[in-house]
Structure 1
Amino acid sequence: MNILIVDDDCLVAGALKTILEATKGLHVPACGSDGTEAVSLYRKFQPDVLLMDIRMKEMNGLEASAEILREFPDARILLLTTFSDDEYIIKALKLGAKGYLLKQDYQNIVPAIQAVFSGQTVFGNEIVSKIPSLLQKKQSFCYEDYDINDRELEIIGLIAEGMSNKEIASRLYLSEGTVRNYLSAILEKLNLRDRTQVAVFFYQHKS
């Protein structure tokens, strides 16, 4: 698995590279120091996962994420920062980032990268606890207007809880294939791109 690291602190980038490459199967082809470099390096290497800081000079990690995702909609971006700033969390979620971790959670970085690579969305415990209060409903919303049935709404809620397709299938006594079919229908009906946006949508319109 190729991991691209972008952090304006060269010591942090070097430490992350050492941590990652000490894990079998992980390789870091390059490190960048700002958002502009992140975009350039992503185009060159198209890594499996991009591990990127948020606060950087020139172009920050959120701006770089937006540019990369416009060009590569399936990019797996894991944002890593020392700040649990509410505005950053919201922007990361809405952009479609696959994860947001605090740097002090260094012991969770490798598992988070592996989870993101497998298709999961990862947010540290401190971040997850903030999401519901940050994404409060602004006005009443009717899922029926979007042809969302009760089962689909149930699955949307479980996705918002952070459950994988396998976990949802087990909870609802369905096959994983059936859950994937439901998710595809949900994405189409709500005009969303991925399960991260489903979770954001759910909390934004939660009663």
Structure 2
Amino acid sequence: MIRVLVADDQQLVRMGLRMLCESAGDVRVVGEAADGVEAVALTGRLGPDVVLMDLRMPGLDGAAATERIVAAHPSTRVLALTTFGDDDHLYPALAAGACGFLLKSAPPGDLLDAVRKAVAGGTPFSQEVLGRLVGRAVSVRAVADPGDLTPREREVLALVAAGLSNQEIAARLHVGVTTVKTHVAALLAKTDCSNRVRLAVFAVRAGLASG
């Protein structure tokens, strides 16, 4: 059972997310937070697997709350929820350690899939959000020579950019999970990216993302 904490300052949004999560047999909402301070406190108390984090909240915003949660509870995955107008909040959340970004307008099934991918170590994000990140990407070094990457590393990079977890990449390429982890580690080192989200942005900027 995937344990989820919902953090959003709008009660109706929290109720909707709770109903959606609890409609799935493998996801359960263990708590709700109306602001960043409460989200941090409840994460420490409840130990959720995933926090669905609104980025615009009064007091402590979603990015700041994400940074505190990731620092204190590295096993908890934070999935940022955003709207098209939230660009200024996306970048701080990325730097804070959010594992992915999803639009609030995303289909219900996409949100549930994103929660599952987050727990599996993937990097779930809406393609629209990725496009906006690429347009104003920060702190990602450009590839001077794409030849630095091996053909297999390019394959793995494209699948990371598609939001697949290590397990899903291993199944797609018919290799072991340990092998995938080794390739991802090499990609992070070669591209100077600090996490999978930045690696995905890097892939698109380098023209190596599929689709």
- Asked if these proteins are the same fold (TM beyond 0.5), I'd say yes
Q: Distance in 2 between matches of 1:50 and 1:58?
A: 18
Q: Which runs of 5+ in 2 are unaligned?
A: none
Q: Please identify, of 168-177 and 108-117, the stretch whose mean Cα deviation from structure 2 is larger.
A: 168-177
Q: Please identify, of 118-127 and 128-137, the stretch whose mean Cα deviation from structure 2 is larger.
A: 128-137
Q: How does 1:88-107 map to 2 (within 5 A)?
A: 88-107=89-108
TM-score, scaled relative to structure 1: 0.79
Q: Distance in 1 between matches of 2:158 and 2:145?
A: 12
Task: Tell me the equivalent position of 1:111.
Answer: 113
Q: How does 1:49-60 map to 2 (within 5 A)?
A: 49-60=50-61
Q: Distance in 2 between matches of 1:169 and 1:2?
A: 25
Using the aligned pairs only, state the percent identity. Answer: 33
Count of equivalent residues: 203
Secondary structure class of the residue paired with 2:12:
helix
Cα distance 1:169–1:12, how it changes in 2: closer, same or farther (>3 A)? closer
Deviation digits for residues 71-109 of structure 1 (CA, Å, limit 9, x no counterpart): 223321111233443222333333321221222225122
Cα distance 1:84–1:102, how it changes in 2: closer, same or farther (>3 A)? farther
Asked if structure 1 preserves the Cα contact closer than 8 Å seen for 2:121 and 2:166, the reply is: no
The aligned amino acid for 1:32 is A
Larger radius of gyration: 1
Q: Please identify, of 12-21 and 135-144, the stretch whose mean Cα deviation from structure 2 is larger.
A: 135-144
Q: CA RMSD in A?
A: 3.1
- Which of 101, 114, 129 is equivalent to 2:131? 129
TM-score, scaled relative to structure 2: 0.78
The aligned amino acid for 1:185 is A
Asked if structure 2 preserves the Cα contact closer than 8 Å seen for 1:165 and 1:176, the reply is: yes
Asked if structure 2 preserves the Cα contact closer than 8 Å seen for 1:135 and 1:203, the reply is: no
